[in-house]
Homo-oligomer: A and B are copies of this chain.
Amino acid sequence: MSKQPTPKDPQFEARVRDSFAKQTFMATLGARLARVGPGEVTIDLPVREALSQQHGSVHAGAVASVLDSAAGYAALSLMPEGAAVLSVEFKLNLLEPAVGVRIEARAHVVRSGRTLTACTAEAWAIDAAGHERLVAILQGTMMCLQGGSRTG
Contacts and interface: CB of A to CB of B under 8 A. Distances in A.
Interface of A: 1, 19-20, 22-28, 49-55, 58-62, 64-66, 68-69, 84, 86-96, 110-111, 113-116, 118, 120, 134, 137, 139-141, 143, 150-152
Give the 8 A-B CB pairs with smallest separation, nearest first.
Answer: A61-B65, A25-B59, A91-B91, A22-B54, A116-B152, A115-B152, A95-B111, A24-B52
Assembly stoichiometry (copies) = 4
Task: Say whether chain A's binding surface is mostly helix, strand, loop, or mixed.
Answer: mixed
| Residue of A65, A69, A134 with highest tally of chain B CB at under 10 A | A65
B24 A49 contact: yes
A111 B133 CA distance: 11
